[in-house]
Amino acid sequence: MTTKSEFDAEEWDRVQRAPALAALTVMLTERGGAIREGIAFGEVYAEARRGAGSELIEELVSSPPRLETESIGPPDELRAELPDRIREGIAVVDRRATPQEAQQYRDFILRVADVVAHAAKALSEEERAVLDELLGVVGSR
């Protein structure tokens, strides 16, 4: 089983940030609904803490996700760089974790994005497109 101790601080930061960045990708799609989306984001982490996931996922969700707001630029610029930043987290997990754990990590990222996208009553076409884009970014191993 892969644990947090197998990552250096920079690697773990990338691993920990990727699910939050996927949520942010969805949140930037449309203005409004940020409160519901934020609550949904927290709920998916709480749900994962209650679940019986891998040690990697358990350690990932054991502390609240965080994003450094000072590194967040204009929304359009940020939106353009998010896929690469998500891929960085996935690449780190691919190098350190078992194939099964890496897939669970990918699935968790997609779950976070999906829950945030569905926080509003109706899923917009733009949100559907972002979820499809994230599916391509995350891929499978």
Instruction: Assess if residue 3 is contained within a domain.
Output: no
The predicted-structure confidence for 90-129, as pLDDT tens digits, reads as follows 999 999 999 999 999 999 999 999 999 998 778 889 889 9
How many domains, in total, are found in the chain? 1
Instruction: Assess if residue 84 is contained within a domain.
Output: yes
Instruction: Assess if residue 1 is contained within a domain.
Output: no
Instruction: Assess if residue 86 is contained within a domain.
Output: yes
Residue with tokens 């987290």: 89
Range of the domain at 14: 9-138
Instruction: Assess if residue 16 is contained within a domain.
Output: yes
Instruction: Assess if residue 76 is contained within a domain.
Output: yes
User: Measured at the alpha carbon of residue 75, what is the angle toward residues 90 and 140, in degrees to the nearest 5?
Assistant: 20
The predicted pLDDT at position 104 comes to 94
Task: Say what the pTM is.
Answer: 0.90
Question: Cβ-count burial of 135 within 10 angstroms (0-12 exposed, 13-18 middle, 19+ buried)?
Answer: middle
The predicted-structure confidence for 9-62, as pLDDT tens digits, reads as follows 999 999 999 999 999 999 888 766 678 888 898 899 989 988 767 889 999 998
